[in-house]
Amino acid sequence: MMDPDDKPGDETGLLAGLLDRYSPTGQEGEAVDFLVQHMQRLGFRARVDPAGNAVGTIGTGDREILLLGHIDTVRGVIPVRREGDTLWGRGAVDAKGCLAGFVCAARRVRLPAGWRITVIGAVCEESDSRGARSLLGNSAPEMVVIGEPSGWDRIALGYKGSAWFRCRVQQQEAHTASSSGTACEAAVAVWDSLKGAAEAYNVGKPRVFEQVSPRLQAIHSSQDGINQRVEMRIGVRIPEGLRVEEVRQMVVEAAGNVAAEAVVELEDGVPAYRAPKNTPLVRALLASIREEGIQPGFTVKTGTSDMNLVGPVWNCPIAAYGPGDSRLDHTPDEHIDLSEYLSSIRILADALQRLVL
């Protein structure tokens, strides 16, 4: 795989270089340093901020367009390789393709006086979003593009929320011939109860974006001769209009209905967010996609992104845009079509140019 260290203008090489630097959440340092150095060679004023984010700015004006991507990935090494127009690697879709595209698009824009574009490769988006959270105290930019795979011809305007829970069940040991159930059986009953509560909520809501979607992420059991213990980690995708506290209550009630001894702890949660369509940012992206000779579309996502955090705080025009098929997120077959990647750079650069004229 070609490393772009000596070719800062090589757009495919930049993405390949980022993919070559494996950066699961908590181990982003090498990729961050690489991106900062690369942006510096392209003329950005680039640095690593106190949170560990890669930050690069072009232009010096007070009016800022922020391109907020993330540089961390989920775990799982995928050897970086190119076959024809396809590039494989962990993060190719989620979301180094988007982040590399941001850098390449920003450097194409002719910025008039008064404008600047900032690209951020945020850390820890796949866990607690501490990179994006560290930005919330900053002044709101004029508009924000979130780097997530929408597809090169589509704009993502909304994301479901999410909440993460620990559910613990403990009960005393009993003889295996006893009629009393086990802690494992109680935990299964809790999970089944929660699924039933979600199914009841989802009646009449055919779209996944409208539904409560629980997922049993992990389960662990243990015993010491006195007590049996089970701990489950449960994630719940939250639809628009439902508060995190309401979801917490749903989980608590579902657990209590079948296992009085169950203890539910909310680890973290963020509500769903949907951005408006009729903004200068969205109109510019639509026009630039049409310029490629195709009909643009809108989408909402069943996952969660940093849009959920910064959108309601900054309250400025915001949209998510980037190349790639999001169905490949977090999979062992993660890859990106390079023609789509390069098309997304042209589209975003054209949209940014429209916005600053």
pLDDT tens sequence across 74-129:
999 999 999 999 999 999 999 999 999 999 999 999 999 999 999 999 999 999 99
The confidence score (pLDDT) of residue 180 equals 65
Helix (H, G, I), strand (E, B) or coil at 258: helix
Q: Which residues are catalytic?
A: 72, 125
pLDDT computed for residue 173 by the predictor: 76
Cβ atoms of residues 160 and 340 within 8 Å:
no
Ordered domains of the chain (ranges, CATH): 4-159+272-356 (3.40.630.10), 161-270 (3.30.70.360)
Alpha-helical regions (H) of the chain: 11-20, 29-41, 96-108, 130-133, 183-201, 244-258, 280-291, 307-314, 338-356
CA dihedral angle for residue 349, residue 11, residue 55, residue 328, rounded to 10 degrees: 90
Distance between CA atoms of 251 and 259, rounded to whole angstroms? 12
What's the rounded Cα separation, in Å, for the pair 271 and 30? 32
Q: What's the confidence (pLDDT) of residue 260?
A: 84
267, containing H or E segment: strand 263-270
Distance CA(339)–CA(12), nearest Å, equals 10
Q: Which residue has the tokens 């400025």?
A: 316
- The yes-or-no verdict on residue 1 having pLDDT over 70 is no
pLDDT at 330: 95
Q: Once rounded to an integer, what is the mean pLDDT over residues 125-144?
A: 97
With cut-offs at 50, 70 and 90, classify the pLDDT of residue 5: very low
Q: CB of 148 within 8 A of CB of 129?
A: no
pLDDT surpasses 50 at 4: no
| pLDDT of 179 above 90 | no
On whether the CB atoms of residues 65 and 115 are closer than 8 A, the answer is: yes
Instruction: Give the pLDDT confidence score for residue 178 in this predicted structure.
Output: 53
Q: Give me the pLDDT at residue 344, please.
A: 98
Distance from C-alpha of 158 to C-alpha of 82, rounded to nearest angstrom: 32
Cα-Cα end-to-end distance for the chain: 38
* pLDDT tens sequence across 220-278: 999 998 999 999 999 999 999 999 999 999 999 999 999 888 999 999 999 999 999 99
The overall average pLDDT reported for the chain is 95
| Weakest mean pLDDT among 6-10, 162-166, 323-327 | 6-10
Percentage of the residues of the chain whose pLDDT score is greater than 70: 96
Structure tokens at 173: 């040991």
Using omega within 30 degrees of 0 as the cis cutoff, is the peptide bond preceding 95 cis?
yes
| C-alpha–C-alpha distance, residues 193 and 182, integer Å | 17
Could you report the per-residue pLDDT of 276-300, keeping only the tens digit for each?
Answer: 999 999 999 999 999 999 999 999 9
Whether residue 3 is predicted with pLDDT greater than 50 in this model: the reply is no
Tens of pLDDT, residue by residue over 328-344, are: 999 999 999 999 999 99
CA-based radius of gyration for the chain? 23
Question: In angstroms, rounded to a whole number, what is the distance separating the alpha carbons of residues 40 and 46?
Answer: 6
47-64 per-position pLDDT tens digit: 999 999 999 999 999 999
Pairwise CA distance, residues 352 & 357, whole Å: 9
Name residues whose C-beta falls within 8 Å of residue 328's C-beta, 6 or more positions apart in sequence.
Answer: 92, 93, 94, 334, 335
**Residue 231 C-alpha from the chain's centroid:** 26
Q: For residue 137, name the pLDDT band (cuts at 50, 70, 90).
A: very high
Instruction: Judge whether 272 and 159 are in contact, CB under 8 Å.
Output: yes
pLDDT of residue 181: 81
Hunting for tokens 């993919």 — which residue is that? 19
DSSP of 133-198? HTTTTSPPPSEEEE-----TTEEEEEE-EEEEEEEEEEEE---TTSSSPPHHHHHHHHHHHHHHHH
φ, ψ dihedrals at 151, nearest 5°? 95, 145
| pLDDT of 2 over the 50 cut | no
**What average pLDDT does range 287-316 have in this prediction?**
97
